[in-house]
Structure 1
Amino acid sequence: MNGRDIGDFSERVRQSFSRQGAMSMLGAELTRVEPAMVEIELPFDPKLTQQHGFLHAGVISAALDTACTYAAYGVIEPDVSILTIEFKVNMMSPGRGDRFLFRGEITKPGSTIIVADGRAYAIGDGPAKLIASMTGTMMVIRGREDVIE
């Protein structure tokens, strides 16, 4: 996408995702990893709902942020890392479904700042339903041993 050597980003993403306590606690799975696009799936769990029984907005936001951040790994060099510096989430429909799909895609790669868009879908009876969208900004981290994978 940007001509840089990204190395084996897919394996890097999978290894990093396996160390994420938050995603593990939520029961999330990394289901698709492609250059500049990542998908995460999550089964419905009543422990992840808000007071009306819908998937909590915080859970949706966390999964979208994670999908977008890992999508950024597909456009960076193997010796750098990514941290989210800003995001905005729009909730479009209640989080009601048997499963949820969170897709992050890179909108604008860059050497310092990367912009990504995310979409969250509820999956149940019938077609998948768009429940949220996100735009996020990630910063490329260089020379920081404490945040490099």
Structure 2
Amino acid sequence: MTGYEHGDFHARIVNSFASQGAMAMIGAELTRISHGVVEIEFPFDRKLTQQHGILHAGIIAAGLDTACNYAAYTVIDTDAALLTIEFKVNMMSPGRGSRFLFRGEVTKPGSNIIVTDGRGYAIGDGPAKLIASMTGTSMVLRGREGFEE
């Protein structure tokens, strides 16, 4: 993924992430921003679980979607924005851990459509455990009122 010059995507992502109420609500923080890759982490919170006490699938999907979309922000022009248009999540293991890490990576950059892949991990006493994977598609928006970045 070389040859892309898209301004200061780091500052842009930090500022955009700070305005996300959903990520603030779950206690998420950006822990890595690099070209084509973004990582988000947050601690376990009982308020984010389903009836069996494990991290809710909707929260896992939100973490993966956000990490993937911000990874896509690293390869678009500064006058563009993104919206998720599709994703598929596979739950692989129960979300049990003291922290969770969600990594999004650009698989196929494009001028209108960007494909990303994500992995979610539970972090606890032992090695990180893969709990979910995602493939997502984002649409690049330009000149759309209300979607300026």
Please give the residue correspondences for 1:77-116 in structure 2 after superposition, counting only pairs within 5 Å. Answer: 77-116=77-116
Secondary structure (helix, strand or coil) at the match of 1:75 reads coil
Secondary structure (helix, strand or coil) at the match of 1:50 reads coil
In structure 1, the partner of 2:26 is 26
Secondary structure (helix, strand or coil) at the match of 1:144 reads coil
CA distance in 2, matches of 1:3, 1:143: 24
Residues 118-145 of structure 1, C-alpha deviation per residue, up to 9 Å, x if partnerless?
0000000110000000000000001113
Kindly indicate whether the alpha-carbon contact (under 8 Å) linking 1:2 and 1:75 is maintained by their aligned counterparts in 2. no
CA distance in 2, matches of 1:43, 1:73: 24
C-alpha deviation, 1:148, in angstroms: 1.4
Please give the residue correspondences for 1:1-149 in structure 2 after superposition, counting only pairs within 5 Å. Answer: 1=1, 3-149=3-149
Quote the sequence identity (%). 72
CA distance in 2, matches of 1:60, 1:96: 12
CA distance in 2, matches of 1:96, 1:73: 30
CA distance in 1, matches of 2:98, 2:33: 22
What is the count of residue pairs matched by the alignment? 149
Unaligned 5+ segments in structure 2 are: none
Kindly indicate whether the alpha-carbon contact (under 8 Å) linking 1:2 and 1:109 is maintained by their aligned counterparts in 2. no
Secondary structure (helix, strand or coil) at the match of 1:61 reads helix
Kindly indicate whether the alpha-carbon contact (under 8 Å) linking 1:4 and 1:77 is maintained by their aligned counterparts in 2. no
C-alpha deviation, 1:73, in angstroms: 0.7
Amino acid at match of 2:64: L
Measured on the aligned residues, the alpha-carbon RMSD in Å equals: 0.8
CA distance in 2, matches of 1:74, 1:131: 25
C-alpha deviation, 1:104, in angstroms: 0.2
- TM-score in terms of structure 2 length: 0.98
- TM-score in terms of structure 1 length: 0.98
